[in-house]
């Protein structure tokens, strides 16, 4: 199996972009700008999801699986701006030339990455180009209509509660970026595990290779000291016989 990179992103309303588009005065609070946009979106669609181009990325996490290495962590530092986070992700893809996957794919994450790369002027790796096909390109998981946590539980993988006190925007306003990044880490790890299972059911991985890869991820999580990995391991059901 070639290197695999499963990633997850966390986003908030792009307040700076909203100010540019709607001409808000500088003395209007960010929270009020975002609330205007959220209310507008609720009236139009019935939900809070902002359009792809107005989703500002505040965290990116990657699970990298290679023959001799496993690594799962948030990109960059907590105070990095969006361009820096994108650059770390794209540099990782370019350096390892992996099979890149994530849960939402073309339904959310991939278009958001393309729009935000365009806005920030960050060069996309070849994987996101029209000719970036083949084994070491983008591998779309065809399950975006099912919540990630639901499918993880049904497949016997661990999940953790969502962000306390609301969603990512509420946590970001409260200064809880570390919590956002930790949650993003877990989503990347879970996505990687489900990608392995998808390869199993499609015959790209043998049962032995699949089991070995999953146990390598479990072993890696057990060696981490951060609380969210300890919590993740604590709720991981025992391996099925």
Q: Where do the structural domains in the chain lie, given as residue ranges?
A: 4-234
Specify the pLDDT at position 136: 61
User: Is the per-residue pLDDT at 46 higher than 90?
Assistant: no
Q: Does 4-234 carry CATH code 3.10.20.30? A: no
pLDDT more than 90, % of the chain: 75
User: Is the per-residue pLDDT at 11 higher than 90?
Assistant: yes
User: Is the per-residue pLDDT at 133 higher than 50?
Assistant: no
Give the three-state DSSP class for 58: strand
5-35 burial code (b ≥16 CB/10 A, e <16): bbbbbbbbbbbebbeeeeebeeeeebeebbe
CB-based contacts of 14-19 (< 8 A; 24+ apart in sequence): 14/50, 14/53, 14/54, 14/55, 14/56, 15/56, 16/56, 17/53, 17/54, 17/56, 17/119, 18/54
Task: Work out the average pLDDT over 104-127.
Answer: 92
User: Is the per-residue pLDDT at 151 higher than 90?
Assistant: yes
pLDDT more than 70, % of the chain: 95
User: Is the per-residue pLDDT at 164 higher than 80?
Assistant: no
Specify the pLDDT at position 33: 95
User: Is the per-residue pLDDT at 152 higher than 80?
Assistant: yes
Contact 234, 221 (CB under 8 A): no
List CB contacts of 34: < 8 A, sequence separation 6 or more.
12, 13, 15, 18, 169
Expressed in angstroms, the distance from the first to the final Cα of the chain is 24
Specify the pLDDT at position 134: 42
């Amino acid at each position: 199996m070639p290197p695999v990179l499963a990633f997850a992103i966390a986003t908030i309303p792009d307040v700076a972009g909203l100010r540019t588009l709607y001409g808000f005065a500088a003395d209007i609070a960010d929270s009020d700008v975002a609330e205007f946009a959220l209310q507008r979106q609720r009236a139009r669609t019935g939900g809070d999801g902002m359009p792809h181009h107005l989703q500002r990325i505040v965290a990116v996490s990657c699970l990298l699986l290679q023959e001799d290495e496993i690594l799962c962590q948030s990109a960059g530092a907590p105070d990095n701006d969006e361009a820096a986070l994108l650059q770390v992700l794209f540099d990782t893809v370019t350096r390892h030339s992996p099979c890149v996957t994530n849960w939402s794919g073309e339904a959310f994450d991939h278009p958001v990455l393309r729009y935000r790369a365009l806005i920030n002027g960050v060069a996309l790796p070849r994987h996101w180009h029209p000719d970036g096909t083949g084994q070491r390109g983008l591998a779309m998981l065809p399950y975006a209509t099912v919540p990630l946590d639901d499918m993880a539980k049904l497949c016997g993988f661990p999940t953790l509660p969502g962000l306390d006190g609301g969603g990512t925007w509420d946590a970001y306003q409260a200064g809880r970026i570390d919590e956002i990044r930790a949650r993003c880490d877990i989503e990347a790890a879970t996505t990687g595990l489900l990608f392995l299972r998808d390869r199993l059911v499609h015959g790209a991985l043998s049962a032995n290779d699949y089991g070995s890869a999953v146990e390598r991820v479990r072993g890696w999580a057990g060696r981490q000291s951060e609380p969210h990995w300890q919590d993740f391991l604590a709720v991981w059901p025992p391996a099925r016989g």
